[in-house]
């Protein structure tokens, strides 16, 4: 039986376990990446592990999220990350160099390698034939310290692409189409693998756009084959030597399959406030647009911005529209500057801002009250733009550019404008933003600790009997943006969990933090796909700081579930989802034998006030059981180190 490409890569990196869907395996991690807003926790944890030089082939610390320096906090975080990078042999990408995923694709991604990143859009590397996985910061710290990562083997969803995209339809429309079909939980527990003759017309950056938004499907990763288009991309980056051809076997068997006819697609948009709320641009109609934002790790590549420049060249942005463009990397901006496209953008009336995440994470450029904002980004969760009542639509760069000209949402296919193809270009990397850790020396490099950087919270051992008061009952698809909001006001406190915790669930329920404090030990009840979205550990660390001991939900998003376990918070699921109705805020949940429950695959919880019983599932792997009993991964690592110290003392 033929093998899928994803399983071939897993197999070549397998350290232990059986490679079958649902099996527990550990794999070798070749590369890691961090970004600054999750990175400070990663590096505090790496320091706490007493690690020496990283065990990976390449680890890179990017600064791209918290680049707005409105006070000392973000700049202190950058200095902290740079100092730790130097201590452990990690490349440091200075602020201004660009967005981690775009930079990693350009400079370090290699087909067939594994990449673990402390950001949910790490799978962007799948566009280059990597197996790239997003994870919580602690998992990335462990991968740097030990070179490995454990996961439950996902099944593989094969998506066959046929046909060819028509002008004005692009990679963004492909992934929006898939999101419309599968929804934001359609990829949970799956690896997505693309194949078919349709691939021939998709460049690496097109593929990266599609792989990037596999995160919105909840998929573990998305993988594309490595072919002549991959070679051409690597050549354009001056890295042809990194090319390796890779593909699934012709008779590969997938757990599920889906077909997408590229020729049949039309320009699409995700309506507010979810990436799977997809409709055609034509159906949505010519709504008036106030802001257009082009950029983010999804759509800020050289070819995306050249398409935009070609549409805008010699024309003028509509008077009502504020057009904001954030290029993906310094290399891209430099190339646009050299070939004149930057001048075309500025002449048309675009505000060109820093090469960074920027507006995608609410770091500036929040639209006006009640605005309609078209964004080429990947998430349009309510309030993420920094403006609670803004209506954010996710669109392709082509749709964004033509709509910026007309001032209304416009289907380019009907616009009468011609679209010129973008010629491939060679642009060598811009190394001048990279600080090399050559000669790294943990002992002789001091950690630069600014006053806003506080220790990460740690849990205590799981008690035998656990009682916790329900401090919130939430619905389906709660995002980590809901749990731990992030914007220009709060991002500077990513290194200060005690402060940040005051704002936990702030946008949906401002009384949450106070209720948890009063409860002493708190519980959260959630619906389906609890914790979807970002990889931010803060969505587990802030609740941990507030005394949350358990989350009982209908189902969990993968990374958030791991982050809860890493923090020693119990993620349990309902055996009968209808029991969600029986639980309300203020009730006390009681587990008689908490240690027994985490080790069993199922058990029960009592509602203390009424004595009613709720059946719950608790399917944890052996390492997860230890983590939960010991109060989190750091405690487990320390315990392991103590055991091996006493074993060697006894020898
Ligand atoms: C996001 O797009 O939501 C983020 C900001 O990049 C997050 C990471 C974070 O919260 O720092 C992600 O995607 O993991
Ligand atoms: Fe940055 Fe936005 Fe990409 Fe997250 S989704 S990494 S905030 S550009």
580 CA to centre of ligand 1 in angstroms: 29
CATH of domain 466-639: 3.20.19.10
Please state the three-class secondary structure of 465-516 as a single string: CEEEEEEEECCCCCEHHHHCCCCCCCHHHCCCHHHHHHHCCCCCCCCHHHHH
pLDDT at 651 over 70: no
pLDDT at 644 over 80: no
In a mutational test of the pocket of ligand 2, which residue from 35, 64, 297, 484 has the highest number of ligand atoms less than 8 Å from its CB? 297
Q: Are 186 and 175 spatial neighbours (Cβ–Cβ below 8 Å)?
A: no
Give the pLDDT confidence score for residue 365 in this predicted structure. 97
Q: Are 60 and 108 spatial neighbours (Cβ–Cβ below 8 Å)?
A: yes
Q: How far apart are CA 159 and CA 184, in angstroms?
A: 16
Can you name the residues that pair with 261 across neighbouring β-strands?
Answer: 162
Give the pLDDT confidence score for residue 428 in this predicted structure. 64
Please tell me whether residue 356 adopts helix, strand or coil conformation: coil
Q: Return residue ranges of the chain for CATH 3.20.19.10.
A: 466-639
357 CA to centre of ligand 2 in angstroms: 5
Query: CB under 6 Å to ligand 2: residues?
Result: 65, 99, 119, 121, 296-297, 357, 360-361, 377-378
How many other C-beta atoms lie within 10 A of the C-beta of residue 15?
13
Q: Return residue ranges of the chain for CATH 3.30.499.10.
A: 5-264, 268-413
Name the closest-CA residue to atom 13, ligand 1: 534
Peptide bond into 287 cis (omega under 30): no
The ligand minimizing its distance to the Cα of 535 is: 1
148 CA to centre of ligand 1 in angstroms: 22
Q: How far apart are CA 81 and CA 61, in angstroms?
A: 7
What is the mean pLDDT of the segment spanning 435-439?
86
pLDDT at 431 over 90: no
Can you name the residues that pair with 530 across neighbouring β-strands?
Answer: 556
Q: Does 552 or 445 have the greater pLDDT score?
A: 552
Give the pLDDT confidence score for residue 188 in this predicted structure. 96
Q: Are 218 and 529 spatial neighbours (Cβ–Cβ below 8 Å)?
A: yes
What is the mean pLDDT of the segment spanning 274-294?
98
Axis-axis angle for helices 100-107, 204-212 (nearest 10): 140
Average pLDDT, the chain: 96
The ligand minimizing its distance to the Cα of 377 is: 2
What is the mean pLDDT of the segment spanning 534-557?
98
pLDDT at 321 over 70: yes
In a mutational test of the pocket of ligand 1, which residue from 486, 490, 495, 504 has the highest number of ligand atoms less than 8 Å from its CB? 486
Q: Are 64 and 99 spatial neighbours (Cβ–Cβ below 8 Å)?
A: yes
Alpha helices (runs of H) in 155-195, residue ranges in sequence order? 171-182
Distances (CA, A) of 541 to 140, 359, 408, 567: 16, 25, 42, 7
pLDDT at 650 over 90: no
For residue 205, what are the contacts with CB-CB under 8 A and spacing of at least 6?
Answer: 105, 127, 171, 233, 301, 302, 303, 304
pLDDT digits (tens, 9 = 90+) for 108-152: 999 999 999 999 999 999 999 999 999 999 999 999 999 999 999
Give the pLDDT confidence score for residue 17 in this predicted structure. 97
How many other C-beta atoms lie within 10 A of the C-beta of residue 514?
12
Distances (CA, A) of 382 to 93, 178, 179, 389, 478: 31, 21, 18, 8, 11
For domain 268-413, the CATH architecture is 2-Layer Sandwich (3.30)
Q: Are 601 and 617 spatial neighbours (Cβ–Cβ below 8 Å)?
A: yes
Give the pLDDT confidence score for residue 441 in this predicted structure. 74
Name the closest-CA residue to atom 10, ligand 1: 536
Task: Answer whether 38 contacts ligand 1 (Cβ < 6 A).
Answer: yes
Share above pLDDT 70 across residues of the chain, in percent, rounded to a whole number:
99
Distances (CA, A) of 358 to 294, 397, 458: 11, 17, 31
- CA neighbor of 587 nearest in space, from 601, 607, 570, 571: 607
pLDDT digits (tens, 9 = 90+) for 491-519: 999 999 999 999 999 998 999 999 999 99
pLDDT at 358 over 70: yes
pLDDT at 265 over 90: yes
Can you name the residues that pair with 160 across neighbouring β-strands?
Answer: 195, 259
Give the pLDDT confidence score for residue 646 in this predicted structure. 73
Considering only CA atoms, give the Rg of the chain: 24
Give the pLDDT confidence score for residue 443 in this predicted structure. 74
Q: Are 512 and 504 spatial neighbours (Cβ–Cβ below 8 Å)?
A: yes
pLDDT at 477 over 90: yes
467 CA to centre of ligand 2 in angstroms: 38
Q: Does 423 or 385 have the greater pLDDT score?
A: 385
pLDDT at 442 over 90: no
- Pairing between β-strand 372-375 and β-strand 613-617 as defined by DSSP bridges: unpaired
CATH of domain 5-264: 3.30.499.10
**What is the phi-psi region of residue 129: left when phi exceeds 0, alpha when psi lies from -120 to 50, beta otherwise?**
left
pLDDT at 277 over 80: yes
Instruction: State pTM to two decimals.
Output: 0.97
What is the mean pLDDT of the segment spanning 377-401?
97
């Amino acid at each position: 039986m033929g093998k899928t490409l994803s399983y071939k890569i897993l197999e070549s990196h397998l350290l232990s376990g059986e490679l079958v869907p649902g099996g527990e395996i550990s794999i070798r991690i070749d590369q890691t990446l961090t970004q600054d807003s999750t990175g400070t926790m990663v590096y505090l944890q790496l320091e706490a592990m007493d690690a020496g030089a990283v065990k990976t082939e390449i680890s890179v610390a990017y600064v791209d999220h918290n680049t707005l320096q409105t006070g000392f906090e973000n700049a202190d975080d950058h200095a902290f990350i740079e100092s730790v990078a130097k201590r452990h042999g990690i490349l440091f990408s200075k602020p201004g160099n660009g967005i981690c995923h775009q930079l990693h694709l350009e400079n370090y991604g290699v087909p067939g390698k594994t990449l673990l990143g402390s950001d949910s859009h790490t799978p962007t590397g799948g566009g280059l034939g990597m197996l790239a996985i997003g994870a919580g910061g602690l998992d990335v710290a462990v991968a740097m310290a030990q070179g490995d990562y454990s996961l439950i083997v996902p099944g593989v969803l094969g998506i066959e692409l046929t046909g060819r995209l028509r002008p004005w339809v692009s990679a963004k429309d492909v992934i929006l189409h898939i999101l419309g079909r599968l929804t934001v939980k359609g990829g949970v527990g799956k690896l997505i693998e693309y194949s078919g003759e349709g691939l021939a017309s998709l460049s690496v950056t097109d593929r990266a756009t599609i792989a990037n938004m596999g995160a919105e499907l909840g998929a573990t990763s998305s993988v594309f084959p490595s072919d002549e288009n991959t070679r051409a991309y690597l050549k354009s980056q001056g890295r042809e030597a990194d090319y390796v051809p890779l593909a699934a076997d012709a008779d590969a068997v997938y757990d599920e399959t889906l077909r997408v006819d590229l020729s049949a697609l039309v320009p699409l948009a995700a309506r507010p406030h979810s990436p799977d709320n997809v409709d055609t641009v034509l159906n949505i109609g010519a709504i008036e647009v106030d802001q257009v934002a082009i950029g983010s790790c999804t759509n800020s590549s050289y070819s995306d911005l050249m398409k935009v420049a070609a549409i805008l060249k010699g024309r003028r942005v509509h008077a009502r529209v504020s057009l904001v463009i954030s290029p993906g990397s310094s290399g891209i901006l430099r190339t646009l500057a050299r070939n004149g496209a930057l001048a075309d953008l500025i002449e048309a009336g675009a505000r060109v801002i820093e090469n960074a995440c920027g507006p995608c994470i609410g770091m500036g450029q929040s639209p006006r009250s009640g605005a309609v904002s078209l964004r080429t980004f990947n998430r349009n969760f309510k309030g993420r733009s920094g403006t609670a009542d803004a209506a954010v639509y996710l669109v392709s760069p082509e749709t964004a550019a033509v709509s910026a000209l007309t001032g209304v949402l416009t289907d380019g296919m009907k616009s009468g404008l011609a679209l010129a193809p973008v010629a491939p270009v060679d642009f060598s990397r811009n190394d001048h933003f990279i600080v090399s850790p050559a000669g790294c020396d943990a002992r002789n490099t001091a950690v630069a600790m600014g006053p806003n950087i506080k220790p990460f919270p740690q849990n205590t051992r799981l008690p035998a009997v656990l009682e916790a008061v329900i401090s919130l009952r939430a619905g389906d698809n709660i995002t980590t943006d809901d749990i731990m909001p992030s914007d220009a006001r709060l991002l500077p406190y990513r290194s200060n969990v005690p402060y940040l915790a005051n704002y936990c669930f702030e946008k949906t329920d401002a009384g949450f933090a106070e209720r948890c404090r009063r409860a002493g030990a708190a519980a959260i009840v959630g619906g389906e796909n609890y914790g979807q979205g970002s990889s931010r550990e803060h969505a587990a660390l802030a609740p941990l700081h507030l005394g949350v001991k358990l989350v009982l939900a209908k189902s969990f998003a993968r990374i958030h579930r791991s982050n809860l376990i890493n923090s020693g918070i119990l993620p349990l699921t309902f055996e009968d989802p209808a029991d969600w109705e029986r639980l309300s805020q203020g009730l006390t949940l009681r587990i008689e034998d908490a240690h027994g429950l985490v080790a069993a695959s199922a058990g029960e919880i009592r509602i203390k006030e009424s004595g009613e019983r709720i059946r719950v599932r608790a399917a944890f792997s052996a390492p997860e059981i230890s983590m939960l009993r010991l109060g989190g991964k750091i405690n487990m690592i320390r315990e392991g180190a103590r055991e091996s110290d006493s074993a060697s003392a006894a020898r």
